[in-house]
Amino acid sequence: MRANSLAVRLFIWATAWTVVILMITGVALSTLYRHAVERAFDRRLDVYLRTLVADVASPEEGSEKFPQSIGEPLFELPLSGWYWQVTRLDTKTAEVHSSRSLWDSNLPRLPQDRSTGTAEYRQGYAQGPEDQNLRIVERNIDLGSDGRYLISVAGDASEIDDETNNFDRAIGMTFAALTVALLLTTALQVRFGLAPLKRISESLAEIRSGRAERLQGEFPVEIAPLARETNALIDANREIVERARTHVGNLAHALKTPLSVIVNEAVARGNDPLAHKVLEQTDIMRDQVARQLERARLAARASVIGTVVEILPVVTALARTMEKIHRDRDIAIDVDVPQQARFRGEQQDLEEMVGNLVDNGCKWARSRVAVEVIADRPAPDDLKSRVRIIVDDDGPGLSPAERARVAQRGQRLDESKPGSGLGLSIVNELAGLYGGVLTLGTAPIGGLRAELALPGG
């Protein structure tokens, strides 16, 4: 699977969003839970604070104004992290009364900006004895002639941290499992959701290679219109090609009759110079018309989707035919064609191209012609395969200048050899119509090498 494929992009996009959303949700839940733990912790501290305020404001008869205990053992343990402190504020020297757990230490005062509700009540975090992190609530009370007091209660904030950390670990493991489950679900959804598109891609490859003519099978409602339009496009392409062939045939018949009339009239005039000129020009016209009609016919063939020909049977049949034609010269034709080699085009065109090359090789060979076919694999960034047809002979060969000349229409280097000089030019034109190319070079066995590169199947 390529890194830039739709399935990979969808999976990466879904994975990124899943992780981001879960992280944001986890942070939000952790924050909300910590605030809830703090509120519960503050309510607990507030109970102790109210008890102290009541004892200071209305001490029981016969008891001291400042309590020695409020019924919580943690306030009795030295440096336990749980402390209370009552400080009188209207005296020159502050009177401080505190729980036994504070030992000889004092609680810090919270800044005025920590006030909640009224300026008389504050809550927040502060550093306590032994560098403990404390959660403190404090309140100012004014008893008139009995004085003004600051009452503080502190608890060990590590309990809040422990509760929050435990919750974070639990939610982290839960979200990790949820992330894995969501990613697996997303992967399955992407895989099965894009499966119809993969089927369409494979079906199009089958059509292009000639193993199928249409998109077959049932497709989901979302994909079915694409399949229908693709099949309609293929049908329209075939209809256009068939219509073009019909028009070419009609044009050929329409032109033959006027040309025949002109030729007959010219022949009837005997040795008239004008008649000779007319005959000469009509021959040129016939050649040009035949050539252009053939090019139009071949162009229509080349545009047909899904036409594929196996090369081995074609080359084998041509080799047997050429050996019979040139049996008086005892020419041996060696054939090396892999079974899987295919040409994407019409069989008649393949026979014409290869037949011309083999026939040309037999005319000039001393005793041997070799035909080799190589099916090239497409490059990673190119979906089109290529096939190379190589025809070698052991004849005299051609110089670079002669190779350039023989590829031109009607050029013959040796008038003693039969032919019109059109063979290689026809091959060159046919190959060009299919997006191929004909290259001439020197054969390893001494003569001419003609290498024909064509689209493979």
pLDDT (tens digit per residue) in 343-382 = 888 888 889 899 999 998 998 899 999 999 998 876 555 5
Which tokens hold the place of 239?
């209809």
Q: What is the pLDDT of residue 412?
A: 45
pLDDT band (50, 70, 90) for residue 37 = very high
pLDDT band (50, 70, 90) for residue 414 = very low
221-225, 307-311, 381-385, 400-404: range with highest mean pLDDT:
307-311
pLDDT band (50, 70, 90) for residue 387 = very high
Pairing of strands 437-442, 448-455: antiparallel
Q: What is the pLDDT of residue 420?
A: 38
What is the spatial distance between Cα 16 and Cα 14, in angstroms, rounded to a whole number?
6
pLDDT band (50, 70, 90) for residue 299 = low
Which ranges in 58-157 belong to alpha helices (H)? none
Q: What is the pLDDT of residue 2?
A: 44
Question: Considering the chain, what is the average pLDDT of its residues?
Answer: 81
Q: What is the pLDDT of residue 135?
A: 93
State mean pLDDT over 400-428.
60
What is the spatial distance between Cα 412 and Cα 420, in angstroms, rounded to a whole number?
8
Q: What is the pLDDT of residue 389?
A: 94
Q: What is the pLDDT of residue 220?
A: 77
Residues 6+ apart with CB under 8 A from 109: 138, 150, 152
Which tokens hold the place of 188?
């399955």
What is the spatial distance between Cα 22 and Cα 179, in angstroms, rounded to a whole number?
8
Cα four-point dihedral sign 72, 74, 77, 80:
negative
Q: Nearest to residue 391, comparing CAs of 321, 451, 325, 313?
A: 451
Q: What percent of the chain has pLDDT over 70?
A: 83
pTM of the predicted model as reported, rounded to 2 decimal places: 0.48
What is the spatial distance between Cα 364 and Cα 416, in angstroms, rounded to a whole number?
11
Q: What percent of the chain has pLDDT over 90?
A: 25
- Higher pLDDT pick, 63 / 56: 56
What is the spatial distance between Cα 90 and Cα 43, in angstroms, rounded to a whole number?
29
Q: What is the pLDDT of residue 315?
A: 93
State mean pLDDT over 253-263.
77
Q: What is the pLDDT of residue 121?
A: 87
What is the spatial distance between Cα 109 and Cα 127, in angstroms, rounded to a whole number?
10
Q: Distance between terminal CA atoms of the chain?
A: 23
State mean pLDDT over 245-269.
75
State mean pLDDT over 398-404.
80
Angle (deg, nearest 10), helices 347-364 and 311-325: 40
Residues 6+ apart with CB under 8 A from 12: none
Pairing of strands 148-156, 332-336: unpaired
The CATH topology of domain 309-455 is Heat Shock Protein 90 (3.30.565)
What is the spatial distance between Cα 143 and Cα 145, in angstroms, rounded to a whole number?
6
Diameter over CA atoms, the chain: 160
Which tokens hold the place of 416?
């003693």
What is the spatial distance between Cα 146 and Cα 90, in angstroms, rounded to a whole number?
10
What is the spatial distance between Cα 430 and Cα 144, in angstroms, rounded to a whole number?
116
Please check the confidence at residue 304 and state whether its pLDDT lies above 70.
Answer: no
Beta strand segments in 111-173, E? 115-116, 118-127, 133-142, 148-156
Q: What is the pLDDT of residue 298?
A: 60
Query: pLDDT tens digits for 158-199?
Result: 999 999 999 999 999 998 998 888 888 888 877 777 777 778
Query: What's the number of CA atoms in the CB half-sphere (13 Å) around residue 140?
Result: 16
**138 exposed, middle or buried (CB, 10 Å; 0-12, 13-18, 19+)?**
buried
Query: pLDDT tens digits for 111-169?
Result: 876 556 555 788 899 998 888 999 999 999 888 888 889 999 999 999 999 999 999 99
Please check the confidence at residue 71 and state whether its pLDDT lies above 50.
Answer: yes
